[in-house]
Structure 1
Amino acid sequence: MDPGTSRYANVFLLDLEAAQVLARFSLVHGPYETAFSADGQWARVDDIVLRQRDGERATVTVAAAEHSETCPSIGVQPAHTD
C-alpha cells in the first residue's frame, strides 16, 4: 500500500454448501468482533448485521434486537511455552 493509505479488511459471508458469496464488504481497521444469533438467522461483523440466508443487511431495528450466542469457557489452561 502507498503511504497514507488506510488499512482495510475484506469481509465475505459465504454459503459453503452452494459455493456462493452472499455478501462482501470492506471495513477500515477490522473486523474486530463477529457474532452469530443463536437461531442461526443473523451474522454480525462489528456493527454490520447480515441475514445469513442471503447476505442482506438488517434494518436498524433488527440489528438492535440481535442477540449473540455465547460459548462457555472450556476451562483448559494454556500450554506452557518455555
Structure 2
Amino acid sequence: MMQDYGILAWIVIGGIAGGIAKLLMPGRDPGGCIVTILLGIAGALLAGWIGKAIGWYDTNEGAGFVAAVVGAFLLLLIYRVIAGRRRV
C-alpha cells in the first residue's frame, strides 16, 4: 500500500510511524526527527519484506501504516538489544 504514495507521503508516514514506535517503547533513543523518519520508513520496508516472505502480501503489495509502526518498533527493539550489549 505504501509504495503507491509519493516521497513526501513516505516522509510523513515514516515520521508518524517512527514517532509512535518511540512512544510505545519508553526510554532514551538516539537521533532526532531525521532518525525517527528513517526508522518509520525502514520499519515499513521491513514489515513489507517479512509480509511477502510469510505470504501476507502479494508481490505488488506493501505494508500498511500499522505494519510500518510494528516494523519500526521491531527495529528499535533490535537496536536497543545490540546497543545494550556494547555498554556491558
Shorter chain as normaliser: what TM range?
Answer: under 0.3
TM-score, scaled relative to structure 1: 0.27
> Highest Rg: 1 or 2?
1
Structure number having the greater strand percentage:
1
Higher relative contact order (CA 8 A, sep 6+): 2
